[in-house]
Each structure stands twice: as C-alpha cells, then as structure tokens.
Amino acid sequence: MSEQYEYVPHRLLRRRVRDIASGAEGELMAVINENVSDSVAHERWMELAYIRDASGREFTTAASNVEPAPDRPKTTVGRRDPRSA
C-alpha cells in the first residue's frame, strides 16, 4: 500500500476561498490527495481542501468545490461622505 496522503499544489493556497457546497469561507491552508478508503483492498483517493474559517477551525471539502471568495465591499467606519448634508 502506498502513502496515505500527499500534498498537492493549488493556485489558491493561503488565499481567501469559498466552499461552493456549504457557502463557508476561509483561508485555503492545504490541498492533500488522501486515501479515503476504509478498505485496504480497494484504495480510493480524493483531493481534499483544508480551509480555516474566521474562528480558526479547519474543515475539509473536495478540492473541486473551492473557488476564490468574492471581494467584500469596502466600507468606511466612522466617516461620512463629504457630499452629504
């Protein structure tokens, strides 16, 4: 039996991403090709994305479910628009 996992390069590593399956967002920490089989006889490999959310917890999803997170609207706190009365 071969290794249980291997790291896979990904263009969005260390960037803000969105899991399209759940809608959750966070930072893509790693993509790992893992043997997710529960049987030694029939290996099943899958690329899993590890995403860290704002609370610091990590969750996994299929790497194919990862997309760049949409940009958040920029808001200015405590400043008024000088054109408003």
User: How does pLDDT run along the chain (85 residues), one tens digit per residue?
Assistant: 456 789 999 999 999 999 999 999 999 999 999 988 888 788 889 999 999 999 999 999 999 999 999 887 555 555 555 565 5
Which residues, listed in sequence order, are joined to residue 62 by a DSSP beta bridge?
48
Which of 24, 30, 16, 17 shows the shortest CA–CA distance to 66? 17
Alpha-carbon gap, residue 83 to 85, rounded angstroms: 7
pTM, rounded to two decimals: 0.77
Cα 85 from chain centroid (whole Å): 44
